[in-house]
Amino acid sequence: MASNRERLPLNWTTRGSDRTDPDGPVGESGRWQSDELLRCETADMALVACHPLLMQLAAALIGPSARFGGVGAMCREPVSEPPPSTVPPEYLADNIHWQLWHREAGGHTAPSHPRCIASLQCIFLLDACDERSHCFSYVPESVEAKRALPVEESDDGRMVVQRDTITGSSTMWANEPLVTREGWPLGEGVDAVAPAGALIIQNNRSAPPPCPALPDCFRGV
């Protein structure tokens, strides 16, 4: 990824350091992201992203409608700046800059699916992630809870978790701890702590991940 970013910098977007958000001038500083790796590094990326065992697992979880969606990459560099004074006290105490709890893919869901899965994310950890350097946390949510979510039809005809509800996609995009949200029905997040080379598979309609920025760690996914 480092060589790709050096050779093709326009394929990568930066987050945080180029923003002027008053609530977090460092925001997600250190985050670099690209959706072009498979196209540019086909031989290397396809070996992993299109591995037969991974495809079989995805097909077993999703069903015969499973299709390959694409490959992205994200890395986080250490952030030396202190957290902005505007972040919640709970975050300042842990030296956290920014946590954006949300549902992936805009909250689109599939209540009729046996596991309530419309799509999956398969995340390979290229660096070891411990309690201080992990990239992701996830809020556990059962299939029954997912099916009970209030949904509405989106513009493209798909079902989406109502955005103005406490667990809706838009209302979760706030730099605010889960436990301080009035009426929050779910528990705390579970940190994805694992060694380098680990694979994390998540229902893409779950409520992941925060985006912490701690100065003494490197995050790479």
What average pLDDT does this structure show over 50-67?
86
Q: Which amino acid would we find at residue 24?
A: G
User: 0.95 exceeded by the pTM?
Assistant: no
pLDDT at position 180: 87
Q: What is the mean pLDDT of the chain?
A: 78
pLDDT at 25 over 50: no
- Total structural domains in the chain? 1
Q: Please state whether beta strands 137-138 and 190-191 pair in parallel, antiparallel, or not at all (unpaired).
A: antiparallel
Strands annotated E in 110-205: 120-124, 137-138, 151-153, 159-161, 190-191, 199-203
Q: What is the CATH number of the domain that holds 120?
A: 2.60.120
Q: Which two tokens stand for residue 216?
A: 């003494």
Confidence of residue 150 (pLDDT cuts 50, 70, 90): very high
Q: Which amino acid would we find at residue 62?
A: I
Domain enclosing residue 164, as ranges: 2-220
Sign of the alpha-carbon torsion through 62, 66, 69, 71: positive
